[in-house]
Amino acid sequence: MNEPRPHHHAAAVAHLRAADPVLAGIIAEAGDCTLTLQSDGTHFAYLLRAIVFQQLAGAAARTIHARVLDIFGGRAPSPAELLATPPRTLRKAGLSAQKIRYVRDLAAHAAEGDVPLPALETMADDEIIAALTRVKGIGRWTAHMFLMFRLGRPDVLPELDYGVQKGMQVAYRLRKLPKPKRMHEVAARWAPHRTIGSWYMWRVLELRPPRRTVKAKPKVKAKVKAKPKPRSTPRRRA
């Protein structure tokens, strides 16, 4: 079962509404927060899926992920099982050579305990980010998504997420896409519920999709034909 349900966010939404007038208006438009956790399976299975899905369209990623699971009877493998699988088998499932290195690196770290997956729930956010980013193919953005959608950590601001950046730019009428420092300044009043505040930034783009700017075609100056020089009349000899 996915948790928490929308009504579990009532306290966070009430805080955000009171703390930030701009966000209060967005909440009035968007309604209840429906953020839910992806709690099925293991942490290893979640991270494996996250790596498979990187830089792929949804349909293609789902197909490749399903083929990887089929290797193990339709379920997610354990770290030891993935390490024992020949790379060529993973390649046949559709994983690129780079992603095979990534998933094997994840499995190696998990098997050795260097990334203590079972203990992540007891660790602080910064400790989790430091642990996960030891794995090739897992960066700060993936670690933030893990904190938000896997562990349900309440005070995460994914400053590298384009959707949150763009939503903040539109909502707060910023001239430019905000940098991480500016995002933390804007979201300071959301604490300790920046996860829910970020969720509403994603909703901003659904409520107020940015207009596409059509570049005006440059005006082509018409070439002015040079007037022919009058022919000089030859002087007659006397």
Q: What are the per-10-residue average pLDDT scores of the chain (238 residues)?
A: 58 96 96 93 96 90 96 96 97 96 97 93 97 96 97 97 97 97 97 98 87 56 58 52
Q: Which of 150, 175, 195 is the last residue of a domain?
A: 150
Q: Is residue 143 part of a domain?
A: yes
Contact 30, 202 (CB under 8 A): no
Whether the model pTM is above 0.75: yes
CATH code of the domain covering residue 184: 1.10.1670.40
Q: Tell whether 131 and 98 lie within a shared domain.
A: yes
Contact 37, 149 (CB under 8 A): yes
pLDDT of 56 reads 83
Contact 136, 102 (CB under 8 A): yes
Q: Count the domains in the chain.
A: 2
Q: Tell whether 159 and 136 lie within a shared domain.
A: no
- Give the residue numbers spanning the domain of 12: 6-36+155-207
Q: Which of 118, 134, 150 is the last residue of a domain?
A: 150
Query: Other CB atoms closer than 10 Å to residue 146's CB: what's the count?
Result: 22
Q: Tell whether 94 and 139 lie within a shared domain.
A: yes
To 5 degrees, how large is the angle CA 91–CA 95–CA 101? 90
Q: Which residue has the tokens 């966010």?
A: 9
Q: Is residue 96 part of a domain?
A: yes
Q: Which of 114, 132, 150 is the last residue of a domain?
A: 150
150/121 Cα distance (integer angstroms):
10
Q: Is residue 218 part of a domain?
A: no
Q: Which residue, among 44, 49, 82, has the nearest Cα to 65 in the 3D structure?
A: 49
Q: Which amino acid is at 213?
A: T
Q: Tell whether 186 and 123 lie within a shared domain.
A: no
Q: Is residue 101 part of a domain?
A: yes
Q: Is residue 168 part of a domain?
A: yes
Q: Tell whether 82 and 175 lie within a shared domain.
A: no
Q: Tell whether 126 and 108 lie within a shared domain.
A: yes
